Structure 1
């Protein structure tokens, strides 16, 4: 078998289509929050209305992610991804039509946001199954790296593109454009040719498959323990995204200082995804644990706070670690879960991430109002370091190598 570090993934049939389809999906997803925020603010100027619309998208994601994992394991992942992006495109088109007609109703936007959130819950768990079904094992590390770069590019470019579109042509047309991007992405992913799925002797019930997916997760301590670490990192990210801009504006020179720090982080994440396949990490979970712990750095530098350039470097290093972590983690999951349970594992991974970050966003400001901003930052820094480095104590986490036989046991 060839080394996964010298495989030209672009020679793999179907990977270009997968990369283009996912890039369009990432970009369209990144356009929505900024466009929706600006549209609601322009329409009503109410923070309460904005909170209702954003919560309407988040709640279905949290509730339906395990359901999406079951569907993506039961049916071909490309069909589920096609349907999810198509539904999101239709929802964005409906929002755009309402805005263009000038009859903006918060209830309508909330319902359409809820439809979007449900589609995200169904589409998110298709990521790993699509890679596993399209790309051979020795090429998956580089495939995940390219997909990580695409995701990072979307996160960097999406808000800016959405802002320019809203200012230049209006929020309604911005949503029409987003719907078109979702539509093209859906068609691209829907036409993906993958390896045929192994037929099952019988089809278990939905609840049976849900329980089996949870059992697959429970049977792998290396997986669920790392999920806890990742959840704490996402909680810390929510705290930093709330308190970091306030500290930057009040104590580090204004809004431009936060822009510098944030862009350094985005550049670091892109660099991490690019570097990950070149590290030749023989023990990937050791590397991911250290990379996850790096997120403590900007929590500490903002708690002091230190100079803008120090915070920018710290956040850049932390996000470089996240870029490496995401790439190695996805590749490890795809290697050590059986294909028929991979989407359900992906759904639990996403569920903890989606739940933890909003929690951090919600609690940071009230806690800081009582204790000052330094205390929540330092506490979460300690939790991030402890939760991620504790994974190094697990023998089965240290035992996982890129040379070992894949563990695809069914518990």
Structure 2
């Protein structure tokens, strides 16, 4: 493993833990001094800038060196989290201040998301990308497991120290990018007016039916995941044994997701987009298990399988995008993918409760299971989904094939 790849993995591991600390810290800090409405305001203030700025961030990712964009995003997030920590430690917590700082954090996330995908394409040669993408996904999954426990320990001395640690971790992540070299320079987008570059990105997006179909399927997955994250705890508490049951199910699901990341880089997947479609469709299993109020061992196994599918598809999807999308438009095209994903889950979270209050939990979860399987398996009807990586299909892939002997 080359030094740039090690630096990239180290930095993203630290950043993943820092990212995992934020929602738990904010939730507990706000609820100690405010109301559920205050918490909704703070969390929405982080989400809205992400949605609004993602198209802009895609243009920036294609214009500027990606390591500089990601470094700047990390430093901005560090500053926001250090400011939150200082306010929490001062004892004078103002919801308005937390909302503004959360909005700054969300904006930084928006700029860092498409740039990271471009950074991987710049640093990692084509043959190694699947393994590196799987490792990046695995550290994110492990961070989701470790973050709540870390916050719980820090809360013994105050929520402010959790935010201070988060800021310090983002600074540490940024330092790993400061000396990161791009052994494989990425062709930068041709400079033009912002609106023109945005139109070029959308035009490139429409050139790839496989991409649009998968993005739609992934949006449906995020929508149904929002349903499950809302209704799953209710069902677990009422029918499966209480709060502990939900904790056990979600922790085993996180293990399943990490196992999926590992399997994606080890199994001989000849048609990655087929694996992506099937991996997303498997999420119908936990939706169905919860809907039918099956025994907790079956529900847990189904949730493990559903999250295994998510972990399995993620590195395959990232690698396919980096292989098939021209690198000078990868940031803009990828920003549309992130936009749909970030927008769909809050919709599911918002509508699940009122829908279930009207018709119960069984029907909406079964409908969600049918929808997520149909939307993702329908992708298999496209001929280019069945193509194998053996033949270059884009300028980006042709470059990878030419560079592969040197990178090896």
Tell me the TM-score normalised to structure 2 length. 0.95
Quick check: 1:353 aligned with 2:353? Answer: no
Match of 1:54 among 37, 43, 50: 43
Within the candidate set 117, 130, 134, 2:123 is matched to: 134
Alpha-carbon RMSD = 1.3
Q: What is the distance in 2 between the residues matched to 1:404 and 1:183? A: 41
C-alpha separation between the residues in 2 aligned to 1:163 and 1:70?
A: 39
- Between the aligned partners of 1:106 and 1:159, the Cα distance in structure 2 is 22
Residues in 1 aligned to 2:365 and 2:117: alpha-carbon distance in whole angstroms: 33
Q: CA deviation at 1:199?
A: 5.9
1:404 aligns with 2:391: yes
Matched with 2:110 is 121
> Which residue does the alignment assign to 1:275?
263
1:29 aligns with 19
Q: Is the 8 A contact 1:22 1:189 kept in 2?
A: no
Q: Tell me which residue corresponds to 1:87.
A: 76
Q: Which residue of 2 aligns with 1:184?
A: 172
Q: Is the 8 A contact 1:231 1:353 kept in 2?
A: yes
Distance 1:75 1:396, change over 3 A: same
The correspondence for 1:385, drawn from 365, 373, 376, is 373
- Unmatched tracts of structure 2, length 5 or more: 398-408
- State the distance in 2 between where 1:78 and 1:366 align: 43
Aligned twin of 1:376: 364
- Alpha carbons 2:187, 2:327 under 8 Å: kept: no
User: Counterparts of 1:152 and 1:27 in 2: how far apart (Å)?
Assistant: 9
Task: Give the paired residue count.
Answer: 396
Contact 1:13 1:134 in 2 (8 A): no
Contact 1:65 1:347 in 2 (8 A): yes
Distance change >3 Å, CA 387–CA 193, structure 1 → 2: same
Q: Which residue does the alignment assign to 2:100?
A: 111
2:231–2:352 contact (8 Å) kept in structure 1: yes
Which residue number corresponds to residue 351 of structure 2? Answer: 363
What's the offset of the Cα at 1:385? 0.5
- The answer to whether the aligner puts 1:290 opposite 2:278 as a matched pair is yes
1:300 equivalent in structure 2: 288
> With structure 1 as the length reference, what TM-score do the two structures score?
0.94
Q: What residue in structure 2 maps to residue 159 of structure 1?
A: 148
Instruction: Say whether the 8 Å CA contact 2:64–2:188 is kept in structure 1.
Output: no
> Cα 1:104–1:220, aligned 2, differ >3 Å: closer, same or farther?
same
Q: Paired residue for 1:101, among 66, 90, 93?
A: 90
